[in-house]
Homo-oligomer: A and B are copies of this chain.
Amino acid sequence: MLQELFNPSVQHALDLAGIFVFAISGALLAVRKNFDVFGIAVLAEVTALGGGLFRDLVIGAVPPAAFTDLGYFLMPLVAAALVFFLHPEVERIQTGVNVFDAAGLGLFCVTGTVKAYEYGLGLTSSAVLGLATAVGGGVLRDVLANEVPSLLRWDRDLYAVPAIVGATIAVLCIRFDTLNAFTSGLAAITAFSLRLLAMRYHWRAPRAWNRRSATADDGQ
């Protein structure tokens, strides 16, 4: 499948799938926060499209893709409706959702990096925007839900590091002129696998020196 990453229709289908699973995570948080049906839809949209929207504003790709592709807008509404009617069932398959979310993470960190580079940004900036594409929606979701972004918390399994690795591989492929469907697929799969391993083995990032033994009661 990924050999055809740059086939437009396959690429589009992958994008929609990534948007869908990100939207599910936003809608589930909205249900947990006791939001109404409209709040569920808003949080689904923001989670799914926020990262790409930020990237597009920064690289000057206006109007952003989120506002030019009807499918990008409708997909989160489908996810919101699904969660609205079936949320206990969706929560029960949380593991499955997490796997899809990891796939979205792997996909977006690579496509975000490539799009930023195509708009003329440098290699480091492209990787940073790839990372922002992958994790930005989740940060906006948590800010709107008035929670500390789970991205920043030490007591969550690694989320950003897999995306950083994926974006870095993509950037190295660009640097050494070997970016193609195969290598970009490889970058996405690496990020995806790292995230799965982080969830499986509860990998976490260290906190600041001298802080490890401190009680967590001043945290969240």
Contact = CB atoms under 8 A, between A and B. Distances in A.
A34 B148 CA distance: 11
B73 A34 contact: no
Counted per complex, copies of this chain come to: 3
A58 to B, nearest CB: 6
A144 B153 contact: no
A88 interface: yes
A16 interface: no
A10 interface: no
Contacts of A63: 58-60, 119-121, 125
A58 B207 CA distance: 35
Interface of A: 30-40, 42-43, 53, 57-60, 62-64, 67-68, 70, 73, 83-88, 119-122, 124-125, 128-129, 139, 143-149, 151-154, 160-161, 204-211, 214, 216, 218-220
A46 to B, nearest CB: 10
A70 B31 contact: no
Contacts of A207: 31, 34-37
